[in-house]
Structure 1
Amino acid sequence: MKYAFPDNFWWGSASSALQTEGTREGETTWDYWFAREPNRFHNGVGPQHTSTFYQHWKTDIQLLKQLNHNSFRTSISWARLIPDGIGEVNPDAVDFYNQVIDELNEQGITPFITLFHFDMPMAMQEIGGWENRDVVDAYARYAQICFELFGDRVLHWFTFNEPIVPVEGGYLYDFHYPNVVDFRRAATVAYHTVLAHAKAVQAYRAGHYAGEIGIVLNLTPSYPRSWNPADVKAAHIADLMFNRSFLDPVLRGEYPADLVALLKSYDQLPACKPEDGFLIAEGKIDLLGINYYQPRRVKCRDSAVNPQAPFMPEWFFDNYEMPGRKMNPYRGWEIYAPGIYDILVNLRDHYGNPRCFISENGMGVENEQRFIENGQINDQYRIDFISEHLSWLHKGISEGCNCLGYHMWTFIDNWSWCNAYKNRYGFIQLDLETQQRTIKKSGEWFAATALNNSFDKE
């Protein structure tokens, strides 16, 4: 069967500054954490050893062109542009980002730029990070500087990438710095992130720039084990906490009333100011980026909560391992392509069918050298993964969902937070010793799909 996509569909991939650029002038939380606890990072590989985009941006953009990308998302590093977060702008960073943006546009690749992709300047973290409203204001200033510097050539802006992840990782589950386990502080971080987002949107609107502004959310559909009311309620609460805590403010301009009531009943609400509601209402977006990797399957709790344990989302549900689920054993994630369709239908039916696109989708595999044939990685498993997700995406579009594109994570094997280079995601293989880049079979497949705006699948 032939799957043809709408005209001007965005074909591309996504990356981030911290995961590709390498060493920068300003220290981030990742540099600080790695210097103190390198054991927390796979094989002791830290954020200075990334895929050298800072040096190889021109040839890497040529590779994007070779893969027939018409669009590409990356981020600006706040710590590179303003090393202390609030002071002088670094002219070398301005030159670098100007060159990257100009080269992308010259090659016919539309730049999609994210302002914050997990890389808090350490100077800002030292005064409390997103727990401190002063950092919200500093971020708003940084965003405005970016719009002024690059807004004439960047027409697609995103305030945050996956803002729930620093909340979960840094303040609930101990997989990002500052390794705090405290729900109320997590709620404060999430709330202030929404305020920071809204202030950036406000600044963008005030500047009357030619483009559009949005946010990138990782949406994980919450599926109940059964239709038993207890399981359904558990899935609803998981959805409120992990999806709707950001989705509702940015699309509806307000928080879900039942989420607010739930947190209030457990005394976990962050401190609010009377004017916050007006600000959040002004943060409604033009374009939603959707990162989809895996579903969330939940059931009601089987056991009582330990009243001495920290308050956690898991007070309300247990994770559920569905029998027969398809797994990516390297990442430990379920592969469930219909989830991408379910996300789009939910947005169509409950959020007014916003303009959106798939901003990340991908499959990380360990030790891909096993699959080298005639000097090229034969990653047919990645082609199967992408084509299956694209077929469900196509179904959503054919049923009226307003999805404008598909970006893969990622174009070249890059450094991945605490996992470093354990799992490879790229269309292009990166040899860490030589920095040589070699297109994988999936890269060739994607280039053909983008060129034809379609693919064939049995």
Structure 2
Amino acid sequence: MLNNLQGTKETYRFPKNFWWGSAASGPQTEGASQCDGRKPSIWDYWFSVEPGCFYNEVGPEHTSDFYHRYKQDIKLMKETGHNSFRTSIQWSRLIPDGIGQVNQKAVDFYNNVIDELIANDIEPFLNLYHFDMPMCMQEKGGWESREVIEAYVKFAENCFQLFGDRVKYWFTFNEPIVPVEAGYLYDLHYPRVVDFKRGAQVAHHTIVAHAKAVEVFKKLNIDGKIGIILNLTPSYPRCLDAVDVKAAHIADLFFNRSFLDPVTKGEYPKELIDILRERELLPNVEAEDLSVIKNNPIDILGVNYYQPRRVKAKESPVSEDEAFMPEHLFDPYIMPGRKINPHRGWEICEEVIYDIMIDLRDHYENIPFFISENGMGVEGEEKFRNDEGYIEDDYRIEFIQEHLKWVHKGIGEGANCLGYHLWTFMDNWSWTNAYKNRYGLVEVDLNNNLKRTIKKSGKWYKEVSQNNGF
């Protein structure tokens, strides 16, 4: 354990009752996609029609089999120092037809998971939507449909009533901008639409669904807190020239404040509205939408941080005939000499997590928040397996530690950070990338009956948790 007995290392201690844990999602860990009444999500359907869009044609059917191994996995959470853990409830498992009858076998499963977590002194955090639209709801238009908003709110109400006696921390959506970007702008996820105005409608309806779910939570008088998980990617200009600073500000409006402002301040950024109005790209807004958004701010924010966004002023004009994209207003910028994770292609810049914390402190009324995801995906980790049979992932330990130093600094300067959750507890299936990049504190061996083995980082993480720092 690191210490400062000889004055060679600084000690980082975190506040009392700090959350140490990790995050995952139902569709990426549970597997059992055709078991006990669950019906297809968009991922199951897309894989059935276009398996070639998935890495090595590995689909979502089995994933890491948490559905059958949750007791073993929660025991391993305890062994890796967890005092809290976030996962998601699959809508397609709990209410297989999207609306109507609740699946009792799903209720039993989620009850068992919650009870097992609590029995191991691990606080359950539950998220309601992690990219996994039930296919029957997508056929009704997905988040473009008002009918789907109402179905989601009813799903949320069921979850609150079924599990709210034990679950104290609820989150409506994980990274709600991702289905907008990947599904409606950049042709990365199903339904593979490329249409900014439809994407804007999806974004607005998602925020309305979120606000209505918050409203229901408050009316039920649940003993707990409700929030949302946002992936914040601060935008940095190439330099301090006015044109580059403006480009970074515009990128921030689209990719951060478009969701952050309405869920915290109750309104969309005026500058973003102006940009979209000028281009006739504003979504349809119904009479009560803005009031329900205004009247239902979150209690707590989850912040997922992986990488910054770097931009510069647009260097060449875009054809007037070309369908609008945010990048028509700025260009990406690759900073010379940046540190990068070569497996994922993402920049590693630890101090950005501090900038996020100070921004929340200074511009968002120091809202209570926690780092809800941060992690490092690495391909081919088996080559780091030692003679004792576990993976020595020192690079992951360094990654976590260097980010935590900046989290510690932000807390010391008054940011209201309540915890740190790593992505993720165990290696899991990841959307179109399957198991290409591994993120876990625990290895899942696909070639050996999904055997779980704690990595060096998992052993280290337990020490961090036990010592409330390092």
Range class of TM-score, shorter chain: over 0.9
What is the rounded CA distance, in whole Å, between the counterparts of 1:23 and 1:317 in structure 2? 43
* Paired position in structure 1 for 2:393: 379
Aligned partners of 1:30, 1:117: CA distance in 2, in Å? 11
Pair 1:454 & 2:463 matched: no
Q: Is the 8 A contact 1:245 1:256 kept in 2?
A: yes
The yes-or-no answer on 1:405 pairing with 2:419 is: yes
- Per the TM alignment, residue 274 of structure 1 is displaced from its structure 2 partner at its CA by 2.1
Where in structure 2 are the equivalents of 1:67-78 lying within 5 Å? 67-78=80-91
SS of equivalent to 1:74:
strand
Partners of 2:172 and 2:430 lie apart in 1 by 21
AA partner of residue 299 (structure 2): D
Matched, 1:114 2:127: yes
In the other structure, the counterpart of 2:451 is 436
Partner of residue 2 from structure 1, selected from 5, 11, 17: 11
SS of the residue aligned with 2:461? Answer: helix
Please give the secondary structure, in 2, of the residue aligned with 1:32: helix
| Structure 2: 5+ residue stretches without partners | 1-9
Deviation at 1:282, TM superposition (A): 2.1
The offset of 1:307, in angstroms, is 1.8
User: How far apart, CA to CA, are the structure 1 residues paired with 2:188 and 2:97?
Assistant: 24
> Partner amino acid for 2:260?
L
Q: Distance between the aligned counterparts of 1:435 and 1:350, measured in 2?
A: 45
CA contact (8 A) 1:23 1:47 kept: no
Runs of 4 or more consecutive aligned structure 1 residues displaced over 4 Å after TM superposition: none
Whole-Å Cα distance in 2 between the matches of residues 299 and 23 of structure 1?
A: 46
The alpha-carbon deviation at position 376 of structure 1 amounts to 1.2
**Corresponding position of 1:369:** 382
Pair 1:14 & 2:15 matched: no
> Are the counterparts in 2 of residues 112 and 155 from structure 1 also a CA contact under 8 Å?
yes
CA–CA distance in 2 between the matches of 1:120 and 1:334?
Answer: 30
Q: Aligned with 2:429: secondary structure?
A: coil
Distance (Å, rounded) in 2 between the aligned partners of 1:27 and 1:436: 27
The Cα of 1:87 is off from its aligned counterpart by 1.8
Question: 2 CA distance for matches of 1:307 and 1:33?
Answer: 33
**Aligned amino acid, residue 57 of structure 2:** G
Relative to the length of structure 1, the TM-score reads 0.99
Q: Distance in 2 between matches of 1:110 and 1:52?
A: 21
- 1:394-439 Cα offsets, whole Å, 9 max, x none, are 0000000000000000010000000000000000010013211000
What's the CA shift string for 1:225-280, capped at 9, x where partnerless? Answer: 01111111111111000000000001101111111111000000000112111100
* Structure 1 residues 372-398: Cα deviation after superposition (integer angstroms, max 9, x where no partner): 112111100000000000000000000
CA–CA distance in 2 between the matches of 1:356 and 1:418? 29
1:201 counterpart = 2:214:
yes
Structure 1: gaps of 5 or more residues: none
Structure 1 position 23, deviation (Å): 2.9
2:301 is the counterpart of 1:288: yes
Q: 1:278 matched to which residue of 2?
A: 291
Q: Quick one: distance in 1 between partners of 2:368 and 2:94?
A: 30
Aligned residue pairs total 455
Aligned to 2:290, what secondary structure does the other structure show? helix
For residue 424 of structure 1, the aligned residue among 434, 438, 461 is 438
Structure 2 counterpart of 1:182, one-letter code:
D
Contact 1:41–1:420 (Cα < 8 Å) also in 2: yes
Q: Measured at CA, do residues 445 and 284 of structure 1 come closer, stay the same or move farther in structure 2, by a change above 3 Å? A: same
Deviations 1:301-340, CA, capped at 9 Å, x for gaps? 1111022221100010110000000000000000000010
1:31-430 map, 5 Å: 31-374=44-387, 375-430=389-444
Cα distance in 2 for partners of 1:70, 1:223 equals 35
Are the counterparts in 2 of residues 249 and 283 from structure 1 also a CA contact under 8 Å? Answer: no
Per-residue deviation, residues 348-367 of structure 1 (Å, max 9, x unmatched): 01110000000000000000
Contact kept? 1:124, 1:135, Cα under 8 Å: yes
Structure 1 vs Structure 2 CA RMSD: 0.6
1:104-138 C-alpha deviation (Å, 9 max, x unpaired): 01110000000000000000000100000110000
Report percent identity of matched pairs: 63
Q: 2-side partners of 1:368 and 1:13: how far apart?
A: 20
Q: Distance in 2 between matches of 1:282 and 1:450?
A: 37
